[in-house]
A and B are shown apart, each in its own frame.
Chain A
Amino acid sequence: MEKIKSILLFLLFGLSLLLTYQLWYGEMPAQLLEEDVYERLMVEEPRPLENVIMPELIVSSVEGDTYVFKKGENGYESLWEELSFTLQQLSFYEAVEEAMPPADSNKVLTYYLQPELPVGEGLPWLGNAIYAELEMIELYTDNANKWLVLSEAGNNHKTNLLLSSDKAKRFNQLFDEALFENKARHTRLTNENIAMLSGYDLEISGSIYVPQESIYLDEVILKPEDLDHDLILKTFFIDYNMARIIEEKDGGLIYTDGEKGLRLTEFGLEYSSPRKETGSATVTYPEALFNSSSLISYHGGWPEDLRLDELSLSGWGRTIHYNAEWCMYYAGFPILVKQPTKALFNDSGLIYYTRFIFAPDDVIMVGEGQKTAAMWYDALEKAANLFKDQASESENVLHLEEMRLGYVVTNSSGHYRGEPVWRIKISGETFTLQADQLNSVDEEDLL
């Protein structure tokens, strides 16, 4: 009897060890596994509204010369922060003036705001004003005073604000010599100054500024953004156990649960949830701005040099959505990619999202180091010729919609390179020309 008890005790002891081990280290039952996926994710906080919008251009006019400040350039941040801070502090009704700035005052700064800046109640800027969306703000000055002239988007309504002396003084402090050090003078294209391009009837759409003198662009090696694929996956699929994986021939990975799909490649991602397409977008423009910030921060983060370039409402039929588009900037020049970083969203959530971000890899100089960009009139003439060559029907008047220097991303000998280019858009057609030689760059070769 004692022997049986000993054997039984030994077996029970062994079994208890085995069960304890299994409970501690063994596989989880399916139900527990399902519950475990709802983990807390550590993602970037969305930017506050004050940091969502930045001007497209800041143009300064000093003693007859025009200088342009763009994202990533020295002086851009301080000029914008000063205006943003002033608008946050300003009491609208105390500052508003009926009269325009006097005729002998000078316009010293122009802020081009794309996307538009929302101001008014409940917003960081001019919190006690009536709601408006501003597309341009100008700073005028004379010997005694400074005025801000606010231009609303979609109408010609302008509002004048007189700055108090202390606020005016803060702007004065920005205009030191260092602000314009190594800055190239620019000119604003007008129908008159492009009339010299004989044989073409060109009209300017919008405000286009081009360098008046030679511009040197670094040729840089770029690196694609290093995304945490595991974290990205979790931000799109609450229960990623439900998502299945498709390995593409080019090395890309697609995750899908049959309703939405996420494609991860070595240099970006693409997401779509087609069922959400049919839906409305009822949130206000400021809410949409904040939502765009939340989306990009949650799904990969918002890098410092990435600027929100566009936020617009678009759609067709019952499909209405906001379209947000971002672009990376290096030293004031956009890094243009074939598939921009872009989000379409409506009240149902995120419909479509692409994210392809390249940043300079410690600004490694290659080759000669810098390229001298061809002058704007040569680049424009080349683009107009290309337009004429490929146009099926001759148009009487061509519209110059965009003209800027930037980088396109190419992949050669295992490196991603930032190739300096002129990007010119004429009557809906975009032309990409090598900045120095003005050879046409084949869009198919770009990333």
Chain B
Amino acid sequence: MNLGRAKSILIIAFAGLNLFLGYHLFWPDFGRLTRVSVTAEDLRAIEVLLNDNNYFLQTNLDRSIQVSDFLIATPARSFQGEILQGFVKKGARVTESEHATAYRAEEETAVVYSSGLIRVIYEPGVILAENFPGLEKRRLKEIVETYLTEEQLMPEEIAFDYIEKSEAGYITLYYHQTYKEMPIYAGQLQVFIDSDQLTRIELYWLEPVERLPLREMEVISAAEALKNLVDQLGASPEPRYIKDIELGYFSGEYDAEKWEMPPVWRIMLDSNEHHYINAFTGNIEQESAMPEQIPLQN
């Protein structure tokens, strides 16, 4: 046997070996390229299920297979510190109670809760613009964001979520935090406007520490999340419309040092009611209530 033929045989053998090894290493990912998490049949089935229970899909479902991981977060103490420093510079008096500290400046008060939530109350309210409620949504948003940026209350990595207007003239703008283009629904900024006056801001902001790629797993499909929601909520007496379903991170508010947030499917219904479905377990995640009590003035 000459050397050339021996090389050819070895090349074929090693090529075969490499194909074999490559198949075992990467076959789930090969499959992922060609698979979808929601087939056309799944989509039809989930629509039937939703309609049978008086829910109607008004958005497109992401049908690709997605993987995600946990995100470690901690309350954004440095950003919180910057805000409070601003109050101290304005000569705010500080009063403390068991779970909160209040910084009272002349026309505004910041209350910091031990969980990290900051509530800024304006007394009297701040007039943002003439005929504020009559402005179109885009303009209204612009004015609010300009004011918050000037007052150094506008964090970075923020995304506008939605706006609510009540018949009584109350307007609330909702923002959420983002991290590498993924929403963090737990990090929220809410701006409350009464007629044409800014009356209150609530800010609960987090500092993403790291993602845990070692615990990266395939998430349940958007269709499965919808099914779980219907299973747990039951049939609706009135028609409900599903406006949006999106993958992000969410957790309750914890009075803790740091914690891991799981990926969730946020399902937005009409009238902005939303539910979070854990994208690993399929369970509904509970949203914690914001504390109401403000420390008494000393």
Contacts and interface: CB of A to CB of B under 8 A. Distances in A.
B256 interface: yes
Interface stretch (A4-12, A328-336, A393-401): A4-12
A29 interface: yes
Interface centre among A5, A6, A27, A258 (most CB of B within 10 A): A258
Contacts of A29: 28-29
B28 A246 contact: no
A108 B260 CA distance: 61
A20 interface: yes
Contact of B28 (A16, A26, A31): A31
A246 B261 CA distance: 9
B260 A241 contact: no
B218 to A, nearest CB: 5
A258 B283 contact: yes
B259 A247 contact: yes
Contacts of B259: 244-247, 254
Interface string B244-261: 000000010011111111
Given A9-B10, A244-B261, A258 B15 contact: no
Contacts of B7: 2, 5-6, 9
Contact of A242 (B28, B216, B257, B280): B280
B194 interface: no
A93 interface: no
Nearest to B280: A242
B290 interface: no
A33 interface: yes
Interface stretch (B18-26, B48-56, B140-148): B18-26
A254 B7 CA distance: 60
Interface centre among B22, B254, B256 (most CB of A within 10 A): B256
Contact of B17 (A2, A16, A242, A249): A16
Interface string A1-38: 11001101100110110011011001101111110000
B278 A258 contact: yes
B183 interface: no
A15 B20 CA distance: 12
A254 B18 CA distance: 45
Interface in B22-43: 22, 24-25, 28-29
A259 B8 contact: no
Contact of B11 (A8, A19, A22, A32): A8
A34 B14 contact: no
B251 A244 contact: yes
Given A9-B7, A23-B25, A257 B260 contact: no
Nearest to B264: A258
A244 B281 contact: no
A5 B8 contact: yes
A26 B21 CA distance: 13
A269 B287 CA distance: 24
Nearest to A20: B21
B69 to A, nearest CB: 10
A2 to B, nearest CB: 6
Given A12-B11, A246-B260, A248-B257, A30 B28 contact: yes
A245 B260 contact: yes
A27 B214 contact: yes
30 contacts: A2-B4, A2-B7, A6-B7, A12-B15, A15-B18, A16-B21, A19-B21, A23-B21, A23-B24, A23-B25, A29-B28, A30-B28, A30-B67, A30-B218, A34-B217, A242-B280, A244-B70, A244-B251, A244-B259, A244-B260, A246-B251, A247-B257, A247-B258, A247-B259, A248-B255, A248-B257, A249-B256, A254-B259, A258-B278, A258-B286
Interface of A: 1-2, 5-6, 8-9, 12-13, 15-16, 19-20, 22-23, 26-27, 29-34, 241-242, 244-249, 254, 257-259
